[in-house]
Structure 1
Amino acid sequence: MSTFLDNLYKNQSVLYKYFIYVISTVLIVFFFPKGGKFKYEFQKGKPWQYENYYAPFDFSIKKTPEEIQKEKQEIKDHQILYYTYNQSVANEVYSDFENEIDVLFSDNSQKAYLLKVGKELLDELYLNGVIDDESVKLSSNVVNLIKNNIELKVNTNQLHTKADINGLINKVLNQKNLEEYKKQYQRLFFDVVKPNVFFDADWSKKVLEDEYSKLSYTRGTVDHGKLIIAKGEVVESENYKILNSIKSEFESELWAANNYYFILFGYSILVALVLMMLLLFLKKYREDIYENNTKVTFIFFNILLMVFITTLVVKYDEAFVFVVPLCILPLILKTFFDARLGLFVHVLTILILGFVVPNSFEYIFLQIIAGIVTILTVSELYKRVNLFISVGQITLIYLVSYFAFHIIHEGNLENIQWFVFGLFLLNGMFMLFVLPLIYIYEKTFGLVSDVSLLELSDTNSKLLKELSNKAPGTFHHSLQVANLAEAAANEIGANAMLVRVGALYHDIGKMNNPTFFTENQITTVNPHDELTPLDSAKIILAHVIDGIEIARKNNIPDRIIDFIRCHHGTTLVYYFYKKQQQLEGVVNEQDFRYSGPIPFSRETAILMMADSIEAASKSLKNPTFLIIDEFVDKIIGSQMNANQFLNANITLKEIESIKKILKQKLTNIYHLRVEYPE
């Protein structure tokens, strides 16, 4: 049992990768829409590349969503709206009219006759009712009027509005020879007449839905064995609709209870193969990332996130599939790792999504082209203008590619869907949110991007300000090392920004005991004179551990702390080691040796060289070209002899290039000039 547990502990890193691999496969298959996959790929405007295809069973030809929408719109355009006649309002108007006319014509001998004429007017107004909305009479000729629970078809000219009152009063009073009462009647009717016919929205909607339910979603059938399309025949409008119908029917029938687990098994195998390719790529070409489980988790998480968002959009409405900013994936991976890995992961993710999206060939083509453009254009992301330019170029590629596909499918510019162009513009806007996403990833996974490195390189930051105040000599030394290391990194194609920031922070541990380091001693008093060589060595060695602690307290990323940890590797504090040897003879070498580790990357190796060269160059007296040349070769040669660069992925050719740059920089620092003969 103990042996099993020991093996489990030793292989926990590999087991974790297996776990991530299996979980990712299961989740991706779970995200997939529940349906089979039609075994033929076809696109409108392209020839049928398979053998003659005959109908495998009887099926109906489905109408396209556009056709169904058009039919629904026609039904809606010809719909007769429903209005309700309210009798209680009419009764109230009659009652108010009688009361008002009694008051208005109380002393008039013709009151009874005037009352009778007024009721005739009301009878005319409320025969079919008074409507509030005058636009009804302009928009429709006939409406359905529900009066006393009876449905009547009424011409809109038979409905009245308040605007009709004056004309009706003038007409009737002229016929009755009562022209002198026009103003009284107009004022009276304007006050008492109220609308009593109202639009019945609920009933109109119900009747419309009933009409929709009668729509047929198919048009004709295809019998079993009938030729659908011949080999080489171009997929045109009519057979394209038939092929889409059989594809839908085939996939729905395929996803039956008997086939459910077989289809899931097939999906699982294909997804597992894609993710296996990713792990093999990491193991063979990006071993440092493969060994880091945090980075592996980060890559798999981003793949899962993109698959989840895309499948979610497809399930909601597949027309919005191009709104998903899939190019964020290669952009982020390039920011944190490198361009080749970003493009490789992007392509694998698109292959997985090919099972999900409609028109998979078109989708895969567009996304791969956009991903390549992302990799080629996005650089120096910390410069905001670069992001905007790159997003603009990516969006343009989307638009141009989709435009080309539309021409291939349709053969002309008709029926172009401007809505899709809007989706691509929206996609570009979403890509601008990559900067806050990078910040979130940095805090969540402990990664470092160029944006953070730019912030850390600010010499006005709190920690570097404190270093310049407490240890000004060390601060100046760090700036000089940063300049040397950055130039060397640029020469061999290493990460110049990373090595510069590492150089700025590599000696922050000296803040605890600044006067024990010669660059900070401003007087002739040396505190080491009062200590034994062993105690002095302990203080010198401690600046690495102190630097790591200070960096962690100030939330400096681990990637920068690595520079603090290994900028001296496992070298000796040679001066005090020799001094102790002179005093005691036999000395424990480990008491005077840095604990390491030795540099493990090109960047950390560059820092070790630049740090040693800059520090030791202070001892040069009257340097010449030859002295500087021998000096650099000697320092770096001793580091190589001490096996300090065994773990760094750096070649002898690159080391020679670094030497060359360091010699040039030292020559410039000491302002050496060619000696002219007298």
Structure 2
Amino acid sequence: MKKILDNIYKNQSLVYKIILYFSMILALLYLFPRGGKFKYEFQKGKPWQYENLYAPFDFPIHKSDEEIKLEKNEVEKSVLPYYSFNKSVYPQVKASLENSYDNHFPDSVPSSLKTTLFRKLDEIYSKGVVVSFPKEEKGTINLIKEGNQVREIETRELFKLNELNAFVKNTFNKSPLDVYKDEVYDFLFPELVPNVEKNENFTNKAKEEALSKISYTRGTVDRGKKIIVKGEVVEGEKYTILESLKQEYQSQLWNENNYTYVIVGYGLLIALTILMLLLFLKKYRDKIYINNTKVTFIFLNILFMVFLTTFALRYDTQFIYIVPLAILPIVLKAFFDARTGLFVHVLTTLLLGFVVPNSFEYIYLQIIAGIVSMLTVSELYKRASLFISVGQITLVYLVSYFAFYIITEGELKTDNLMIFSYFLLNGLITVVSAQSLIYIYEKLFKLDSDVSLLELSDTNSKLLRELSEKAPGTFHHSLQVANLAEAAAIEIGANAMLVRVGALYHDIGKMNNPTFFTENQKGSVNPHDDLEPKESAEIIINHVIHGITLAKKNNLPDRIIDFIRVHHGTSLVYYFYKKQKDIDGEEVNEADFRYPGPIPFSKETAILMMSDSVEAASKSLKNPTYPVIDSFVEKIIDKQMDEDQFLNADITFKEIEKIKKVLKQKLVNIYHLRIEYPE
């Protein structure tokens, strides 16, 4: 048991990945739809690619969503609205009118006015008084009277309050009482109250009952009946029947007998997809693979996108186009690189192909969008860059979907164009959330992106300000190296921002003993004069260790610490080595004067080593000319190559030559030289 525990402890990173691997499979299985997968892929407007298809069993023909929607609209229109008759209203209205009548009309008014008026009120209130009717309800309604008795009546039989003026005129027209019609209107207007109101409860129940009787199928297809032949175009009734067969097939596949088999099938496909991701990371991105935090980060991003898509599917299948899947490659590119971002995006899209309808269309759209995001999204720390890139991604979405739309539909239908607005919303969400997600991920997973690098490049930051105060010469040297390295990185297509930040911080370890480095010495006093060459070399070499310690203390990202660690590689502190050799002869231990390494392992760290050496050594040039600078740069970088300092840097001879050219040109500019032309 102890041996097993020891093995687990020794291989805890691998054990964690295994646990993470199976947890990912189970989580994705949980999010996947509870249904089998139809074994045929088909698209509307495309030829049937398989052999002749016959119905494998009896199944109903399902109505399309559009048919059901139209039928529901017709049913809702056909349901008569319900109105309730309140018989207690009129006695209150009548009593109020009788009480105020004498105050409103003088004694000189004939008594016949009151008799005629209240007789008419009895008449209209017995039929029913309503405020008004909506346009769509002008016709027949259901009126609920005493004892919940319902009868159909015409809306014209009821009195509408907005017709009060016409009612008064008609009542007293061509009558001796006609002169009082204005006074009657003023008398009735504030007092009349409707005794018929719409009963929403009864109306809604009636609609629900009518809608529940709608059949979602029309006819059946008997077993053995020919559905479609090879090469026939999938359209019209054929498409409807195939969709119906697909629904029935998937629902029958996911039953108690086949449940285990379908789960195993989905599980194997998910396991294979996640395994491909791990193998890719192990073979091509070993630094990511060995870092469990980064692997977990990638897995959680995949899971998050699958969750968002399945969540959107529960409400409406078209909502999947609102899910900003293009954020995935953008975020991963910000923290890692374009190839990793695109690879993870493609695998995630393939996984979602099991979940979404029209999987080929969806996969095509998302992969194209992912490729565009990798080609266009760069320098995320520039706000305009993200806006332009997301605009291009959205445009590709719109064009691609439009192409699929006219292929399948053969025409433009304005009622189906709403989905184009979903892509615009997708783009808006991507712009708004990309930067926020990157910031959140930086804090949660302790990762760094180009956005955080931009913050670190601020020379007013605490650490750089401290460097400028304690070691002003080193600070100036770092700025010069940063400018040289950045220009070289741009020339060969490396990460210029990363190189610049690495250059700014590469010598922070010199703050511990600033006067032991020539760029910080004032006057002719040199503390190395009182030390043995071996001791001096130790102080010089230790600035790397001090820099790493200081960087970790100030929470600098690992990518920046790497620059501090490797910027001298395994090179020799030659000045003190030669000085010691002059004293002791040939009995000098070279290891005491050599930096511990490691050597540069990327283009960016190699660029820093070249730029640092060239800039530092250039201070010793007394009478620089263009030929002198040319020879000087060649000599320094060729020596580094001879010592195999760039063996692990993944940099080509062609790129090194480009870097040499940039460094020469920059030094020429620094010393304000002109090229010497032959006479």
TM-score by length of 1: 0.91
Matching residue of 1:44: 44
* Counterpart secondary structure, 1:275: helix
Matching residue of 1:410: 409
1:92 is displaced (CA, Å) by 0.9
Q: Aligned ranges for residues 137-148 of structure 1 at < 5 Å?
A: 139-148=137-146
AA of the residue aligned to 1:225: G
Query: 2:375 aligned with 1:376, yes or no?
Result: yes
Alpha-carbon distance change, 128 to 623 in structure 1, aligned in 2, over 3 angstroms: same
Q: Deviations over 1:325-363 (max 9, x none)?
A: 222222223333333332222222211111111011111
Whole-Å Cα distance in 2 between the matches of residues 178 and 188 of structure 1?
15
Q: Aligned ranges for residues 406-445 of structure 1 at < 5 Å?
A: 406-414=405-413, 417-432=416-431, 433-445=433-445
1:319 is displaced (CA, Å) by 1.7
Instruction: Please identify, of 63-72 and 342-351, the stretch whose mean Cα deviation from structure 2 is larger.
Output: 342-351
Q: Aligned ranges for residues 74-473 of structure 1 at < 5 Å?
A: 74-101=74-101, 111=111, 115-132=114-131, 134-136=132-134, 139-148=137-146, 149-173=148-172, 177-179=176-178, 181-414=180-413, 417-432=416-431, 433-473=433-473
Give the percent of matched residue pairs that are identical in Structure 1 and Structure 2.
63
AA of the residue aligned to 2:151: L
Instruction: Please identify, of 577-586 and 47-56, the stretch whose mean Cα deviation from structure 2 is larger.
Output: 577-586
AA of the residue aligned to 1:508: I
Preserved CA contact (<8 Å) 2:79 2:210: no
Whole-Å Cα distance in 2 between the matches of residues 162 and 606 of structure 1?
87
AA of the residue aligned to 1:143: I
AA of the residue aligned to 2:15: L
Whole-Å Cα distance in 1 between the matches of residues 83 and 378 of structure 2?
65
AA of the residue aligned to 1:140: K
Whole-Å Cα distance in 2 between the matches of residues 286 and 649 of structure 1?
13
1:502 is displaced (CA, Å) by 0.6
Q: Aligned ranges for residues 399-548 of structure 1 at < 5 Å?
A: 399-414=398-413, 417-432=416-431, 433-531=433-531, 533=533, 536-548=536-548
Whole-Å Cα distance in 1 between the matches of residues 61 and 357 of structure 2?
19
Preserved CA contact (<8 Å) 1:33 1:315: no
Alpha-carbon distance change, 394 to 184 in structure 1, aligned in 2, over 3 angstroms: closer
* Counterpart secondary structure, 2:476: helix
Whole-Å Cα distance in 2 between the matches of residues 61 and 8 of structure 1?
57
AA of the residue aligned to 2:256: A
AA of the residue aligned to 1:312: F
Matching residue of 2:598: 597
Matching residue of 1:29: 29
* Counterpart secondary structure, 1:153: strand
Matching residue of 2:618: 617
AA of the residue aligned to 2:72: K
Preserved CA contact (<8 Å) 2:471 2:514: yes
Structure 1, unaligned runs of 5 or more: none
Whole-Å Cα distance in 2 between the matches of residues 313 and 345 of structure 1?
21
Whole-Å Cα distance in 2 between the matches of residues 415 and 618 of structure 1?
72
Matched residues, number: 676
* Counterpart secondary structure, 1:61: strand
Whole-Å Cα distance in 1 between the matches of residues 637 and 83 of structure 2?
95
Preserved CA contact (<8 Å) 1:47 1:232: yes
Alpha-carbon distance change, 114 to 631 in structure 1, aligned in 2, over 3 angstroms: closer
Whole-Å Cα distance in 1 between the matches of residues 264 and 49 of structure 2?
28
Alpha-carbon distance change, 128 to 4 in structure 1, aligned in 2, over 3 angstroms: same
1:530 is displaced (CA, Å) by 4.7
Preserved CA contact (<8 Å) 1:485 1:610: yes
1:194 is displaced (CA, Å) by 1.9
Preserved CA contact (<8 Å) 1:325 1:427: yes
Alpha-carbon distance change, 343 to 185 in structure 1, aligned in 2, over 3 angstroms: closer
* Counterpart secondary structure, 1:398: helix
Preserved CA contact (<8 Å) 1:330 1:346: yes
Whole-Å Cα distance in 1 between the matches of residues 674 and 174 of structure 2?
121
Preserved CA contact (<8 Å) 1:294 1:445: yes
Whole-Å Cα distance in 2 between the matches of residues 653 and 137 of structure 1?
79
* Counterpart secondary structure, 1:84: strand
1:206 is displaced (CA, Å) by 0.9
AA of the residue aligned to 2:143: L
AA of the residue aligned to 2:144: I
1:300 is displaced (CA, Å) by 2.2
Matching residue of 1:555: 555
Preserved CA contact (<8 Å) 1:467 1:508: yes
Whole-Å Cα distance in 1 between the matches of residues 162 and 355 of structure 2?
60
Matching residue of 1:71: 71
Whole-Å Cα distance in 2 between the matches of residues 556 and 662 of structure 1?
28
Whole-Å Cα distance in 1 between the matches of residues 471 and 311 of structure 2?
56
Preserved CA contact (<8 Å) 1:137 1:157: no
1:124 is displaced (CA, Å) by 1.6
Alpha-carbon distance change, 183 to 17 in structure 1, aligned in 2, over 3 angstroms: closer
1:587 is displaced (CA, Å) by 6.8
Alpha-carbon distance change, 158 to 137 in structure 1, aligned in 2, over 3 angstroms: farther
AA of the residue aligned to 1:200: N
Alpha-carbon distance change, 120 to 303 in structure 1, aligned in 2, over 3 angstroms: same
1:667 is displaced (CA, Å) by 4.4
Preserved CA contact (<8 Å) 1:468 1:475: yes
* Counterpart secondary structure, 1:233: coil
Structure 2, unaligned runs of 5 or more: none
* Counterpart secondary structure, 1:152: strand
Whole-Å Cα distance in 2 between the matches of residues 202 and 11 of structure 1?
67
* Counterpart secondary structure, 2:88: helix
Alpha-carbon distance change, 492 to 415 in structure 1, aligned in 2, over 3 angstroms: closer
Alpha-carbon distance change, 630 to 4 in structure 1, aligned in 2, over 3 angstroms: farther
Whole-Å Cα distance in 1 between the matches of residues 646 and 7 of structure 2?
31
Instruction: Please identify, of 641-650 and 360-369, the stretch whose mean Cα deviation from structure 2 is larger.
Output: 641-650
Preserved CA contact (<8 Å) 1:121 1:169: no
Whole-Å Cα distance in 1 between the matches of residues 677 and 408 of structure 2?
76
Whole-Å Cα distance in 1 between the matches of residues 672 and 169 of structure 2?
110
Preserved CA contact (<8 Å) 2:57 2:223: yes
Preserved CA contact (<8 Å) 1:48 1:230: yes
Alpha-carbon distance change, 231 to 137 in structure 1, aligned in 2, over 3 angstroms: closer
AA of the residue aligned to 1:245: S
Q: Deviations over 1:218-254 (max 9, x none)?
A: 1111111111111111111111111111111111111
Alpha-carbon distance change, 150 to 137 in structure 1, aligned in 2, over 3 angstroms: farther
Whole-Å Cα distance in 2 between the matches of residues 360 and 174 of structure 1?
73
Preserved CA contact (<8 Å) 2:626 2:675: no
1:599 is displaced (CA, Å) by 2.5
Whole-Å Cα distance in 1 between the matches of residues 637 and 181 of structure 2?
115
Preserved CA contact (<8 Å) 1:98 1:115: no
Whole-Å Cα distance in 1 between the matches of residues 210 and 14 of structure 2?
62
* Counterpart secondary structure, 2:189: helix
Whole-Å Cα distance in 2 between the matches of residues 110 and 495 of structure 1?
101
AA of the residue aligned to 1:146: I
TM-score by length of 2: 0.91
1:388 is displaced (CA, Å) by 2.0
Preserved CA contact (<8 Å) 2:81 2:137: no
* Counterpart secondary structure, 1:126: helix
Q: Deviations over 1:560-579 (max 9, x none)?
A: 11111222234444444555
Alpha-carbon distance change, 365 to 170 in structure 1, aligned in 2, over 3 angstroms: closer
1:378 is displaced (CA, Å) by 2.4
* Counterpart secondary structure, 2:152: strand
* Counterpart secondary structure, 1:335: helix
Whole-Å Cα distance in 1 between the matches of residues 598 and 2 of structure 2?
31
* Counterpart secondary structure, 1:494: coil
Q: Deviations over 1:366-402 (max 9, x none)?
A: 2222222222222333332222222222222221222
1:470 is displaced (CA, Å) by 3.1
